[in-house]
Structure 1
Amino acid sequence: MEKKEKNFSLKQSQTLQDKNDKNTDLSSNISILFEKHFAISNVQQDTQMYVLPEVGSMFTEPPWWLNKLQKIKRDLNEVKGRLNNFNLSKWQQHTNRMNEAGEIIPMVRENIQAELVTQAWCKFYEIASNFSLVPLNEIYQEVDGKNFKSVHLCEAPGAFVTALNHWLKTNASDVQWNWLATTLNPYCEGNSYDSMVADDRFIRHTLKHWCFGADNTGDIMNLKNLDTLMKKSESLDGKGRILLVTADGSIDCMNMPGEQETAVAQLHFCETVACLHLLQKGGNFLLKLFTLFEHQSVCLMYLLSCAFQQVSVTKPASSKGGNSEMYVVCMNFKGKDYIAPYLCTLKYYYDNVPPVNAMFNLRDIPDGFLRRIEQCCKFFKFHQCKIIEDNIRTFHKRDNFYKHLSTSFVKRMISIKYLEDYRLKKIDPVDKIVGREIIEKNNNQFMNKKLYIDSYNERCKSQDLEPQERLLQVWNNTKEIEWPSEKFYVWNLQALPEALEIQTGKLFNKICSSRFCDSKIVQILDKIDDVMQDMHITVCFPPAEITTEFISQIDPSYEILSFQFVQNYDSHRIIAEIYDRLKKLESEKTLVLIGYSLLTQLNIGLLYLLGNSFNKIIVEIHDNEGYRLKLENYRRNEKVLKYLDEILIASHNACKQNMAVWSIIPITILYEYTKFPMMMLLNHLMIKLYTRHVINIMLDKKL
């Protein structure tokens, strides 16, 4: 009996020890998740201070590379290359479930109820808490009180701003703060969804804080836009200096995953140069990078290590572990006096033209610095590869694994640790910038929906398909688009605005995005355009023969104004034709608009005005051409004619500057237009019919 009890006791002890070991391993793994930091330079600790070379030596040496870094790159790309056959949609679902930090965002939303809580929000809050990102020591030394300003580059949808506000309210409530942000303008219909974050739920309520530059596109890689941003930052309301700049920019690299770093190199260069022009002495800079294998990134890191007292690289726990994203935290800027001799040279290579040569000669960069970069690359490559390999290993076992994972408390432990370590707590609703409820009630159909669902290899193969096959693939994406339930709609009139708000911007002739169409459906137009460009053909829509037949049969008392729904978009011509026709139109006449696009703010705004010069607008649905807009019984409205005069003058002035009229009524008003949902439905219909028409012509078959 004693022997049995002794054996049982030993088994109990071993089981307890196993549990303790597992708990220790688990605790260790969780700690590692929150400790992905790597110090590149620290003036207080380093025996050697990094110094910039002479200005004249910059951009003089051809591109160079380091074999050790290229070896790490090849090893990483070999692991990433194993993903090329995975269906993107299924892979993303799998990695989302596997993400140990995946519960952080929902837990912050549920428990803290902050505004615009996204992955970017959680990453920023984590970095701000791990590092002294907000330079309180500098702020508290301000002679005119505890004030500072921040500037945020490539900021859409605005989560860094809302996270910073939350951090300040819970960690430095006595600080007075003002901010300015820039990003690719989500209201520029010439900006593509592939290039921008179209989510404007926060932007639309804070437009006075956003600067979209001289051409209104928000392109930070345009030097004139940087100049405009600098001027606006100087006139930013409030006291204090610009002591924080953030840059969260990226470029869609889905079709070149192995060369992400090179693809974004010029953007990161521009973000850094912009920061060096904006930031003031003692301030901090947060920059998103990816990998550090190429000369562009190595030189950029050396520039930052010379310009700031301390530079670290971090991968937040709330950032998905399988991607290459990491953040460079640059502390305590040495000031304009230090960097001033280099700014002219840096600006010279700024404006959208990547320099041919490397920024610095390799011999001008200390060996000790290069070793730190190599160690940093190895550190983050190890962690990224481990996550990818774990995800691949569990992909085909996901049903059993998810069942186990759902009962696991790992995700909950990580999210609780996040809340506790960073001392997250609610703030008073009056301290929020816009308000969680206001942001969440806005529609979110523009939150960067992409058409990528296939694997990388399948997408590559599709580019090699014959044009007709590519068009049939596009048609498959349009089949589910709904048709309007009725053939006939009457639109009531909207009250005229008290005044116009005419916005001009960069000239564009191709509509790449629209606030009045689902983003995935607009991208169908882009794919069709690519095919037709490859084949050097154009297609009229509505078809010319249908328009001609309609004109020959129509009531002679009707006036016809015919457009092309697609092809080159010309705001000046649209304004001139609407203006000219309305000036000459006789009372009681009906004006019929054929092929009039409802994709742009300008066109919607013009229709908004025109409605007040007619008794009613009738929308007729036709199977082969989409919709016609019948504006019945013209009645002269002097206010509308006065507005059209203003618009025409603005159009002439914009044309002289090679600009375009973008809008005449604020987007915030158009969002409230009662016909907003109907206009979206009509645009979807037109794109579906246009796609069918192109395929019928190209394949000589009826769909």
Structure 2
Amino acid sequence: MFHKTESMFSRQKFYRSDEFDDELNDLFNKKYQFRFNSEWKMPARESWFSAPPWKVKALESLKTRLNFHKSQLNDFSIEEWSSHTRRRNPAGEVGWKVRCLINPEFLTQAWTKFYECACTYSIVPKEASAAKKLVSLHLCEAPGAFITSLNHYLKLNHRDMQWSWLANTLNPYYEGNSPSNMISDDRFMYHTLDSWHFGVDSTGNLMDWENSQAIVNKAKSLGKQVMLVTADGSIDCLQKPDAQEEVTSPLHYCEIVTALQTLSPGGTLIFKLFTMFEHSTVNLLYLLNHLFKEVNIYKPVTSRQGNSEVYAICLRYKDNINLDEYIPILKSTYGTELYSKTSLFSLEVIPESFLKQIEECAYYFYSVQCHVINNNLQAYLMQNNIALHRDMKKIRAIVASEYIWKYDLKPIEYEQEILKGALHEENKINTNPRYHRGSYTERQLYSKMSLKEKLKNLNAFLQAELLSNPLILINEPIRWMSKDDTLKLNIVFTYGLPLQKVNSSKFIFVPIFKLYQQILAEEEFKEIILYKQSRGQVNVKDTDSEISKVLLLPEYQYKDCYNVYEKSCFKTLLSLLKQLEKGETLLLKNFNTLTHFNVSTLYILSKLCFEKTGFASCGSIILSNFQDKSLLNHLDIIDIECDKVRCDKSKDVLNNLPVQVTNDGEFFNNIVFYNNTFYRNKCMEYLFTIEQSL
């Protein structure tokens, strides 16, 4: 497949009808611009964060009304409702049409949303256009589609631009991060890791001040002027759909404070926010109106119509304020509970004329959202109305055509892409499909269920999602893999915050691990399991080799910090390996293969030290035919490094090899299959044990 660059699109080629002109105009122009008033004054620095939280009656009323509309959906199954609203989404065919006609790099919904923002507003500052140089910073960016979308936009509209970028997000390779707040899709990141910054502690957590400062300094090191910052962060609000703004506001504050320290005068800030009902959002928008010459709120047509998501597009950063003076006060609440317990400004210093504009803006986007929710509800109740669906089909086709025409979207050459066409061919399995089951009401009821009801619920999930999936388990007794005689390995250490607990892993199908965690989250279930847990027996007959030694590592005791347990197991393993004679075979039990530290250790053993490695479906790893003790020197280097950082409570060795070495190919696939099989069987065993005890 190749890209054509000649102009091949004109409006006449697209189906068009005046019948839908008004609707199209509404869909493509959901925007609000603040009108700055010279009487608005920046509050005195000493008054910042000195007032308690406050409310505005008109905004509270809007919030109550919006939550009432949203609460009508509480009893709908999330899968069923999502499917219905996808069919009703007027921009639902944009992605499909863009893929067919343009085939851009790493196309996602975020790609299309960013492209709209870029085309609707002049997001590339005139200073960058004149200098033909742009440095951009992308916060909370995973999986990276804002970056590929910006690249496409620059290649079509600023052809001679020299562009450098840096991105930050929660690190999908750090096992302490929660999968519910983290996008673990690393298809783009994996190939561009040098341009991603996960802070000083490798977590990628932007709400840590030291991480924020490291990211600011790194971005500034890319060029004299950082002229564009984007921030697309959010926090999982599935359990608190009525408090989305309060839950996400502390993250938005951290994004904005980081952006303000990074941007050069004249620069552009684009960040996602939701509703504008709370003091925290009102205050931040008031601050931004003082710092930027133009502040817009915009909802792209490809943003889901029924949700609260909008983008603030702040243009032409002013240089009339010395931000350094404000850093101590901004830092004092950064990533702390104090931010939610105090208000940036008191209500008294916010001018009435600004509050009126906030109310106008909030009411406009509230109206849009409620209108869509009500229409979708009506359509759900009138599913047999053919005319209703016929109109929606027409609108979807027109919106998709209009999108390409309006933004003058054309293909670019593969050579102009960031990864030169590599992502078009890649077909990686998504180990973390982002889906949820049941309705909001059902999820709330789970916490009130009896133990027997919870057990039934967990068993139903196991049957529906896991036992029916053929891609997630080892079918043969043992899956073998041979060593690599040509391999030359370099130890590369990654340091970061010591792992307290394994919350996520790139080496497992996430729904399995979530179920495993959910079972152990119930104290009564955990007590039953720990009391009755029987150790699985090793079926030596299934191996082709004679086992010389068996290493049964201790079970992880949940009261311990995980990193202490992990490094202790590593020392035990290394000690036994040094006792092995050439030709001997070692059977490993309870070796945790969820973390990059352990997986990189196993990679070294399987690729260098043993003739072949077997991943057994019963939950054991067989290291067959030990080759040479001198090959263990890599593990000695790791051991010394772990000892060096042992006394540092804020630092640990998280990985011994680059992720590009371990997270690809046959070895990676075998680890994923092994973990899927092991934890699926664990879930079945645990649920059976609990059932017998209740």
2:128 alignment partner AA: I
Counterpart of 2:313 (choices 324, 329, 332) is 329
Instruction: Give the SS at the match of 1:382.
Output: helix
Q: Give yes or no for the alignment of 1:458 onto 2:453.
A: no
Shift of the 610–556 alpha-carbon distance from structure 1 to 2, 3 Å rule, reads closer
1:87·1:454 contact (CA, 8 Å) conserved in 2? yes
C-alpha deviation, 1:683, in angstroms: 1.3
2:292 alignment partner AA: F
Counterpart of 1:263 (choices 228, 232, 247) is 247
Instruction: Give the SS at the match of 1:498.
Output: coil
Instruction: Give the SS at the match of 2:301.
Output: coil
Corresponding residue for residue 348 of structure 1: 332
1:59·1:358 contact (CA, 8 Å) conserved in 2? yes
C-alpha deviation, 1:556, in angstroms: 8.8
Q: Give yes or no for the alignment of 1:155 onto 2:136.
A: no
Corresponding residue for residue 138 of structure 1: 127
Matched ranges for 1:589-668 at <5 A: 589-611=584-606, 612-621=608-617, 626-638=618-630, 640-658=631-649, 659-668=651-660
Counterpart of 1:192 (choices 135, 154, 178) is 178
C-alpha deviation, 1:124, in angstroms: 0.7
C-alpha deviation, 1:558, in angstroms: 2.0
Matched ranges for 1:679-698 at <5 A: 679-698=671-690
Corresponding residue for residue 85 of structure 2: 95
Residues 220-242 of structure 1: per-residue CA shift (max 9 Å, x gap): 00111012112212322xx4510
1:521·1:684 contact (CA, 8 Å) conserved in 2? yes
For the residues of structure 2 that align with 1:155 and 1:87, how far apart are their CA atoms? 29
Corresponding residue for residue 290 of structure 1: 274
Residues 331-373 of structure 1: per-residue CA shift (max 9 Å, x gap): 1111384433222201111034342211101111111000000
Shift of the 383–436 alpha-carbon distance from structure 1 to 2, 3 Å rule, reads farther
Which has the larger Rg? 1
RMSD: 2.5
2:378 alignment partner AA: R
Corresponding residue for residue 3 of structure 2: none
Corresponding residue for residue 278 of structure 1: 262
C-alpha deviation, 1:686, in angstroms: 1.5
1:195·1:251 contact (CA, 8 Å) conserved in 2? yes
C-alpha deviation, 1:148, in angstroms: 1.9
Counterpart of 1:76 (choices 56, 66, 88) is 66
Shift of the 478–447 alpha-carbon distance from structure 1 to 2, 3 Å rule, reads closer
C-alpha deviation, 1:406, in angstroms: 8.1
For the residues of structure 1 that align with 2:532 and 2:104, how far apart are their CA atoms? 48
Counterpart of 1:517 (choices 508, 527, 536) is 508
For the residues of structure 2 that align with 1:464 and 1:100, how far apart are their CA atoms? 39
Unaligned regions of 5+ residues in structure 1, if any?
A: 1-21
What TM-score does the superposition give when structure 2 sets the normalisation length?
Answer: 0.90
What TM-score does the superposition give when structure 1 sets the normalisation length?
Answer: 0.89
Residues 41-98 of structure 1: per-residue CA shift (max 9 Å, x gap): 34xxx4x253211111111111110010000001111100000000100100000000
For the residues of structure 1 that align with 2:490 and 2:304, how far apart are their CA atoms? 47
Shift of the 545–176 alpha-carbon distance from structure 1 to 2, 3 Å rule, reads closer
For the residues of structure 2 that align with 1:455 and 1:610, how far apart are their CA atoms? 47
C-alpha deviation, 1:548, in angstroms: 10
Corresponding residue for residue 455 of structure 2: 471
2:569 alignment partner AA: I
1:504 alignment partner AA: Y
For the residues of structure 2 that align with 1:512 and 1:566, how far apart are their CA atoms? 15
Corresponding residue for residue 212 of structure 1: 198
Shift of the 61–79 alpha-carbon distance from structure 1 to 2, 3 Å rule, reads same
Shift of the 185–445 alpha-carbon distance from structure 1 to 2, 3 Å rule, reads same
C-alpha deviation, 1:405, in angstroms: 3.2
For the residues of structure 2 that align with 1:41 and 1:682, how far apart are their CA atoms? 59
For the residues of structure 2 that align with 1:315 and 1:241, how far apart are their CA atoms? 28
For the residues of structure 2 that align with 1:685 and 1:469, how far apart are their CA atoms? 26
Shift of the 446–403 alpha-carbon distance from structure 1 to 2, 3 Å rule, reads farther
2:455·2:691 contact (CA, 8 Å) conserved in 1? no
1:600 alignment partner AA: T
Matched ranges for 1:547-586 at <5 A: 557-564=548-555, 567=558, 569-570=562-563, 571-586=566-581
Residues 279-325 of structure 1: per-residue CA shift (max 9 Å, x gap): 11110100100000011111111111111111110111111110000
Corresponding residue for residue 410 of structure 1: 395
For the residues of structure 2 that align with 1:291 and 1:582, how far apart are their CA atoms? 58
1:542·1:564 contact (CA, 8 Å) conserved in 2? no
Instruction: Give the SS at the match of 2:578.
Output: helix
Matched ranges for 1:165-244 at <5 A: 165-236=151-222, 239-244=223-228
C-alpha deviation, 1:545, in angstroms: 4.8
1:235 alignment partner AA: S
C-alpha deviation, 1:676, in angstroms: 2.9
Say which is worse superposed, 597-606 or 255-264, in terms of deviation.
597-606
Corresponding residue for residue 115 of structure 1: 105
2:554·2:590 contact (CA, 8 Å) conserved in 1? yes
Corresponding residue for residue 23 of structure 2: 29
2:212 alignment partner AA: L
C-alpha deviation, 1:675, in angstroms: 3.5
Q: Give yes or no for the alignment of 1:671 onto 2:663.
A: yes
C-alpha deviation, 1:547, in angstroms: 5.8
1:34 alignment partner AA: F
Shift of the 313–125 alpha-carbon distance from structure 1 to 2, 3 Å rule, reads same
Unaligned regions of 5+ residues in structure 2, if any?
A: 1-15
Instruction: Give the SS at the match of 1:214.
Output: coil
Shift of the 299–530 alpha-carbon distance from structure 1 to 2, 3 Å rule, reads same
Instruction: Give the SS at the match of 1:694.
Output: helix
Residues 14-48 of structure 1: per-residue CA shift (max 9 Å, x gap): xxxxxxxx965521011100111101234xxx4x2
C-alpha deviation, 1:587, in angstroms: 3.3
2:520·2:526 contact (CA, 8 Å) conserved in 1? no
2:115 alignment partner AA: Y
1:542·1:565 contact (CA, 8 Å) conserved in 2? no
1:199·1:448 contact (CA, 8 Å) conserved in 2? no
Aligned residues: 661
1:299 alignment partner AA: N
1:138 alignment partner AA: E
For the residues of structure 2 that align with 1:408 and 1:288, how far apart are their CA atoms? 29
Shift of the 446–282 alpha-carbon distance from structure 1 to 2, 3 Å rule, reads farther
Matched ranges for 1:428-447 at <5 A: 428-446=413-431
For the residues of structure 1 that align with 2:429 and 2:670, how far apart are their CA atoms? 17
For the residues of structure 1 that align with 2:532 and 2:477, how far apart are their CA atoms? 17
For the residues of structure 1 that align with 2:665 and 2:568, how far apart are their CA atoms? 25
For the residues of structure 2 that align with 1:559 and 1:473, how far apart are their CA atoms? 38
